[in-house]
Amino acid sequence: MNAAGKGNAYLEQVVAQQAVLEDDLKASRRQGPLAKRERALGGPAPERLTPGPVDVRVTGFWRWKNVLVPPNAFVVHTRRGRSQPLHIGLGVSFRFNPATDSFLVVPGATQTILINAYCICRELQGVLVQGYVQWIIQDFGTAYRKLDFGDAEDPMRLVNLQLREQAEAAIKDKVATMGVRDVLSDKQPIIEELTARLRGVAEGEDTSDQGLGLRIVTVQIKEAVVSSSQLWENLQKPYRSEQGQIARLAELQAQEAITQREMAADRLKETQRLGYERELAELRARNEAWQFDTEAAERLRRTQRRHDETRAVAELETETTLHTLRMERERHAEEAETGRLRIEREQELKRLELDGELGLTAARARSDHERALLEVERTRMRADIDNQQTPASLQAQLIGSLPEIMARLPKPAELRAVSINGADRTTVAGLLTEIAGAVGALRAAIDPSERS
């Protein structure tokens, strides 16, 4: 299947990696739990009946021994004369008599089988299919009767070899019906076919007792490599050519875009240069025209200015004469207007003085008339009030004015008592008579002529 001449470097690399992995797995299996225990304790481990990867400890002496099985190992214990095992199961320890008993210990961990299947595909080309299968013991009661675990160094070696041969045969049968491209692009059909065949052999069909007491955990295909390097290169050429074409087209497109950009930049640069030259020419022409126009305008301005100055002098003299006459006329008019305004202001002042005197006289007359009316009205109101007063109100007014009267009277030098008899104090006349008598007594006390 190998091509002559040039070798397949990728195939050689895959095979070398597989060999290294197998060596590592074999080395790890040789260094079992017993060797690890010996290295940890620095001395030999307890007595072990049979060598192998399972660390089975045997204690006691002669016919009274005990077999201690790890919890992750299957064991079957038989005795001479018994058709059925005494003990069978996972991690079962028991008493052991070397003269009549025998036992078998098998690892219960998951086993991994590495597969390298050299196949022939539908196009009669060599293909290396690399994968792995993981399995575990499901029914040890069936497995120890149908499988060979007699290898003391590796009880699983023969079982792994048998399963590996069956797996390689299944892979080769499936690959023989597939094309090279199908094997390289889609490995799922190979996985399904291999899983179905191994489970049919290891687990049996339905619930029958035709299986081996094993259970397939997983089946995977890692690599599929064409053995012929020339065929491998030919398979890669279309994709490589397509990718090279795409890359070349991308380079051409990039180069074209760069060229177009450079041409556009050159055209833009030349256009800008021509534009700058045209603008400079236009600026020079405009500058020369402006200078010519400026000089012509200056000459015209000077000539016009001389004419204007001559005309202005004449107009100024005429305007001066007219202005003098106008000022004289305006002065006479202002003097006449001033005299007229002075006369009108004097007449207006006299009229205002007369109107003020007349208004003041009328206001005084109105004020005297209103004052007379107010006095008449006040007198009438007093009369009305006096007419409307009752004796009780008069008495109240007199009583209210007594403190003021008493305050104005001089302090008496002596005290005299005046008795008024026969006066009725409940009436106004009686009250007035009593007050008059009191006032007379006061006057007699004050005036010495009245005292004599």
Q: pLDDT, tens digit, for every residue of 374-405?
A: 888 888 887 777 777 666 776 777 777 777 77
Nearest alpha-carbon partner for 57 in 99, 91, 108: 91
Q: What is the pTM of this model?
A: 0.43
Range of weakest confidence among 120-134, 194-208, 250-264, 410-424:
410-424
Across 204-217, average pLDDT: 73
Sheet containing 214-226: order of strands: 111-120, 126-137, 214-226
In tens, the pLDDT along 290-343 reads: 998 888 888 888 888 888 888 888 888 888 888 888 888 888 888 888 888 888
Structure-block tokens of residue 302: 């000077």
> Which amino acid type is present at position 22?
E
Per-residue tokens: 377: 């009205």
Q: Which residues have C-beta within 8 Å of that of residue 51, sequence separation ≥ 6?
A: 34, 152, 153
Cα–Cα distance measured from residue 228 to residue 289, given in angstroms and rounded to the nearest whole number? 89
Q: Which sign does the torsion angle of CA 91, 92, 97, 98 carry?
A: negative
Question: What is the C-alpha radius of gyration for the chain, rounded to an integer number of angstroms?
Answer: 75
**For residues 427-446, average pLDDT:** 69
Q: Is 131 helix (H, G, I), strand (E, B) or coil?
A: strand
What's residue 369's pLDDT? 84
Q: What is the pLDDT of residues 249-274, one digit of tens each?
A: 888 888 989 999 999 999 999 999 99
Helices (H) and strands (E) in the chain, counts: 10, 9
Rounded mean pLDDT, 102-126: 84
Residue 138 pLDDT level (bands cut at 50, 70, 90): confident
Mean pLDDT of 416-429: 58
Q: What angle do CA 393, 397, 402 make, to 5 degrees?
A: 145
What is the reported pLDDT for 44? 39
